[in-house]
């Protein structure tokens, strides 16, 4: 998972949500505009949880309330901009003809333990909680805090629905790209690419 640096709420969001009392009253075309803004300016078109490449299309993603907006959870944060991110719909790594929701925001639903949840818009070192199993493509808990990391992996099902294969493929592509760079420049180029935070599935990669 990656840290998402939030920007100030755009003026259109402030105006569009003024005096709204429920999420359902927020028109879909306005939600789409918000999604596009979040993806372009904050997330580099990557899911806030699994880092899969996504678009603002309804079939690809949804606006995620990191702290759930349910009446028994955090309804007062329904239109709190810093509580909003874009999650994939849990199907972006599915095989053809598989419409099952496997992971991320829709699977998480109203689950949120304040003592365990690693919030990607609050923790700048969030990637340090996870490690990558290069043999199986799985995300695992690091020694930083195994309980919290395991909670996130289980809650979001970060090793389900084709994500392991997607990570393996992403790493293969990354390595092939690095092979084309002169050895003496390779390490600095890797640092540069990782810093840009634009490639999917590689925040686990350490140098």
Of 48 and 189, which is predicted with more confidence? Answer: 48
Write down the pLDDT at residue 181: 76
d(CA 6, CA 206): 24
149 with 123: CB under 8 angstroms?
Answer: no
Is 197's pLDDT higher than 70?
no
pLDDT at 196 over 70: no
Stretch 122-134: mean pLDDT: 94
Mean pLDDT for 151-163 is: 94
- Per the model's pLDDT, the better-predicted residue between 138 and 170 turns out to be 138
State residue 207's pLDDT score.
Answer: 42
| Per-residue pLDDT at 25 | 97
* pLDDT tens-digit readout, 90-102: 998 888 888 899 9
Kindly tell me the burial class for residue 54, based on how many C-beta atoms sit within 10 Å of its own C-beta (0-12, 13-18, 19 or more): buried
Three state DSSP letters for 65-117: ECCCCCCCCCHHHCCCHHHEEEEECCCCCCCCCCCCCCCCHHHHCCCCCCCCC
Domain boundaries, the chain: 11-196
Q: Give mean pLDDT, residues 13-35.
A: 97
Residue with tokens 């050895």: 183
pLDDT at 150 over 90: yes
pLDDT at 89 over 90: yes
Beta-bridge mates of residue 85: 64
pLDDT over 90 at 142, yes or no: yes
Question: What pLDDT is recorded for position 176?
Answer: 83
Among 176, 167, 158, smallest CA distance to 48 is for: 158
Mean pLDDT value of segment 151-170? 92
Give the Cα separation of 101 and 119 in Å (integer).
22
């Amino acid at each position: 998972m990656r840290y998402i640096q939030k920007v100030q709420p755009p003026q259109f969001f402030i105006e569009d949500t003024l005096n709204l009392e429920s999420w359902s009253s927020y028109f879909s075309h306005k939600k789409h505009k918000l999604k596009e803004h979040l993806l372009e300016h904050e997330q580099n078109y990557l899911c806030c949880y699994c880092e899969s490449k996504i678009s603002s299309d309804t079939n690809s993603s949804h606006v995620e309330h990191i702290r759930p907006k349910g009446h028994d959870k955090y309804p007062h944060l329904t239109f709190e901009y810093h509580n909003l991110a874009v999650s994939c719909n849990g199907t972006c790594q599915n095989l053809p003809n598989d419409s099952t929701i496997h992971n991320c925001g829709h699977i998480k639903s109203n689950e949120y333990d304040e003592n365990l949840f690693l919030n990607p818009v609050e923790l700048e070192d969030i990637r340090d909680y996870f490690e990558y199993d290069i043999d199986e493509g799985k995300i695992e808990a690091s020694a930083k805090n195994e309980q919290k990391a395991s909670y996130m992996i289980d809650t979001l099902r970060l090793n389900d629905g084709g994500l392991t294969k997607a990570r393996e493929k992403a790493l293969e592509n990354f390595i092939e790209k690095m092979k084309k760079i002169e050895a003496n420049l390779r390490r600095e180029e890797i640092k540069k690419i990782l810093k840009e935070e634009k490639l999917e599935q590689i925040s686990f990669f350490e140098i």
